[in-house]
Structure 1
Amino acid sequence: MSDRSSEEIVEMAQAHIDERGVLVAEQRRIRDLPWRYAFWGVLGTLLLGLLAWPGTPLDQKMFAVGHGICAQINLVELGGRNLPICARNTGIYGSFLITSLYLLALGRSRAAKLPHWSITAMLGLFVIIMGIDGFNSLFVDLFLPHLYTPQNELRTLTGIGMGTSIAVLLFLILNMALRRDPDTDQPIVANWFEFGGALVLNLLILLALYGNITFMYWPIAIISWVGILGVLFCVNLLIAGVFMGYEAAVTHVVQLARPATLAIVLTVFELSMLAGFRYWLESQGLVAI
């Protein structure tokens, strides 16, 4: 009898905790509702300003926004125009965005488990390979001994591998840190078939770039540009979410409206400061244009 009573007490306590959790979540939802409008308002204003700002072509505006976080050397020309970010970053951040959208399409918005060790090892290898290629390019710039002559095709290819790895890592970190209900039994990438699908999609960037498929200029420019801003935004979202008390508290993405609004503001501030600082360095002749 006492054992049964103890079980009933535990069940009642658990039910009370669950009810309390639902109540807190509802209170937070109501409190955060204005922040949803704020998020879309800020984002819409920024996009409208970018598109409507007179006197400068859109690709040059995109170039200026990323000027502080991308070296913007070794640019790739497509259809007679340079892409707004360099060959390597086009691969990294285009791949990041494509892989992230691919994982969402697979239903991995709550996934919080590393892929099979063999896939995880391959992702780690991608990082190492890009590091080798990056240092090789640096040694060339510094007139030091190097392994081979750098090529933009290789920069983009190794960047694609890196971007895929970043997407998987950020999914894992964000879900583990902010999700109240992360699915720790669901790998972010379940098998080699899914992994191969991500790589095939990402390699389309390489095909379009170096196959000179000119009508793909704007899709690639936008995807890679949004990707590089997206990584910075996600990092700011993680930091803002943790410091604002959203750690292990989120069950729906819309609950992140408040930290997401702050993350947008931080992202814009960081981009502005970094770009402004680099333009100042260039104006002083301290950095080559």
Structure 2
Amino acid sequence: MQDLARGPHISHLDNTPTRIELRWSAVVIGMVVGLLLGVLFMPGVTLEQILYLALHGICAQTHNLVVGGFQFPLCARDSGMYLSYLVTLGVVVARGRGLAGRLPPLRISLTILLLFVIMGVDGVNSTLAEFDFPHAYTPRDDLRLVTGMGAGIGLALVVLLVINTALRRDVQDQLHSLGTWRELGMIILINAIIVALIYTNLLIVAVPLALLSAAAVLLNLALVMMLIPSLFLGLGGRVTRTTQLAHPAFIGLVLGLTFLIALARYRIWMEVTGVLPPPLVP
């Protein structure tokens, strides 16, 4: 990785978590574990129904993937976007670019922007078809999935850049979040493997991917919604260790969950009153 940059000097004391940070970290971990156990073992409803209702306000849920008889909670496009979001963050961190303060080089950035535009074009075409307007081609769920994955790459990189530049003291200003075509290719390859797994039509594949897509939605909301609390807590440009973000992460999780519940309740109200068609509950 030829453009890895040296960040500001951080003493080992800056990397030592305080007691309160460890407590908040335990709270966040406990909250995440509790949510997962609640989703997996809630009595009286299926996992499909829990995930479907939890994300009911995120998208229309009219073109959901069904794999091995299991319906994903998001439409094909959003499923692809959020799975790719996780893949992108994973590759960035695995390649040692988690503290990056720059977008990818221009050509790579333009390619990622093009992928986002392609998703937009496919979305417009799908909308035109929904309303029986003239459209360029017949919409397909595989195209929705793949174009969504392309957009997920850009979404992840932008969120990472905003968090790093706003909060991290040790942000590496000269480090690209993706530095080479090879790294972009790694993301695309993993996304292709996910697509191949989806088309095996196996239940054992569907459940973890559906859970991951739902987790990615909550992660994205929590990251975005913890930004303002972090600044109010005086963490702007001061973070040198992950545990410092435990308190705002808890706030972000609570706000993210509240947002999901509010959106779902509002959409259910619109469906009950006839403003929207009835839901396709699995």
TM-score, normalised by the number of residues in structure 1: 0.87
> Shift of residue 214 of structure 1?
4.3
Equivalent residue number for residue 78 of structure 2 = 89
What does residue 40 of structure 2 align with? 51
Residue 27 of structure 1, CA deviation: 11
For 2:189, what is the secondary structure of its paired residue?
helix
Q: Is the 8 A contact 1:136 1:146 kept in 2?
A: yes
Query: In terms of Rg, which structure is larger?
Result: 1
Aligned counterpart for 1:66 among listed residues 48, 55, 58: 55
The alignment status of 1:256 with 2:265, answered yes or no, reads: no
Residue matched to 2:159: 170
Counterpart Cα distance in 1 of 2:216 and 2:109 = 22
Q: Which residue of 1 aligns with 2:106?
A: 117
Cα distance change, pair 26–166 in 1 and its aligned pair in 2 (3 A): closer
- Call closer, same or farther: CA 1:41–1:223 in 2, change over 3 Å: closer
- Matched letter for residue 45 of structure 2: T
Match of 2:131 in 1: 142
Change (3 A) 1:105 1:145: same
Question: Aligned with 1:39: secondary structure?
Answer: helix
Taking the aligned partners of 1:104 and 1:155, their CA distance within structure 2 comes to: 27
Map Cα deviations across residues 85-143 of structure 1 (whole Å, 9 max, x no partner).
11101100011011111211111121112211110000111111111111111111222
Structure 1 residue 101 corresponds to structure 2 residue 90: yes
| Partners of 1:224 and 1:189 in 2: CA distance | 22
| Aligned residue identity for 1:50 | V
Q: 1:148 to 1:194 in 2, by over 3 A?
A: same
In the alignment, which residue of structure 2 is the partner of 1:29? 18
Q: Tell me the equivalent position of 1:265.
A: 254
Extract unaligned runs of 5+ from structure 2: 1-8
8 Å CA contact 1:179–1:249 kept in 2: the answer is yes
Displacement, 1:154? 0.4
Tell me, in whole angstroms, the C-alpha distance in 2 between the residues paired with 1:150 and 1:27.
53
Runs of 4+ in structure 1 displaced over 4 angstroms?
Answer: 25-28
CA distance in 1, matches of 2:203, 2:37: 26
Note closer, same or farther for the CA distance 1:188–1:288 as it changes in structure 2 (3 Å cut). same
Q: What RMSD over aligned residues (CA atoms) do the two structures have, in Å? A: 2.2
Q: 1:4 — aligned with what? A: none
Partner SS state of residue 76, structure 1:
strand
How high is the TM-score relative to the length of structure 2? 0.89
Structure 1 segments unaligned to the other structure (5+ residues): 1-17
Deviation per residue, 1:191-242 (Å, 9 max, x gap): 0011101110012222222343443111221221211222111111223222
- Given the alignment of the two structures, is residue 233 of structure 1 paired with residue 233 of structure 2, yes or no? no
User: Secondary structure in 1 aligned to 2:276?
Assistant: coil
C-alpha distance 114-50 of structure 1, shift in aligned 2 (>3 A): same
Number of the residue aligned with 2:6: none
Counterpart residue number, 1:8: none
Structure 1 contact 153–210 (Cα < 8 Å) conserved: no
Distance across 2 between alignment mates of 1:83 and 1:42: 23
In the alignment, residue 66 of structure 2 is paired with which amino acid? Answer: E
Q: How many residues align?
A: 270
Moved more, 75-84 or 193-202: 75-84
SS at match of 1:92: helix
